[in-house]
Amino acid sequence: MRQAYGETLLRLGSENSNIVCVGGDTTDSLKTKIFGEKFPNRLFNVGIAEANLVSIAAGLAIAGKISFASTYAAFVPGRCLDQIRNAICYPNLNVKIVVSHAGLSVGPDGATHQQMEDISVMRSLPNMKVLVPSDSITVKNLIKQIVDING
């Protein structure tokens, strides 16, 4: 599914120069590296700083970009709920928060990388739409669809 995300983002980025990707040291694991190789000025790796990641994605959206904020599910919303709610949801900005490694799927990484409440917390936010793909085909289709959805 992660490969499908990177490939779809690359294809859509070729069609729309307003698509940008902000990542939290996840270019290899979320496969956004291929997007950055073709569009180095449109991929921003902020490191392990999820609150900054969300704030930067919001700023890019204010500037008219379609921001894809990519990181692990354990860290969104865990490390940046205030920024998501206040900087993205309340003003209904065009930011797509894309996460991987959800729930217990990263067992070997330990408890710090496992979050069971991410979907329920995100669903409680105003102007937030939560989509959960089940396979690579669904990832490709959802990513294509959310480009055209504001917010």
C-alpha span between 43 and 34 (Å, rounded): 10
Helix (H/G/I), strand (E/B), else coil: 68: strand
Grouping H, G, I as helix, E, B as strand and the rest as coil, residue 144 is: helix
Q: Write out the catalytic residue numbers.
A: 50
What dihedral angle (degrees, nearest 10) is formed by the CA atoms of 115, 121, 123, 128?
-100
CA atoms within 13 A on the CB side of 24: 24
The tokens for 94 are 């065009």
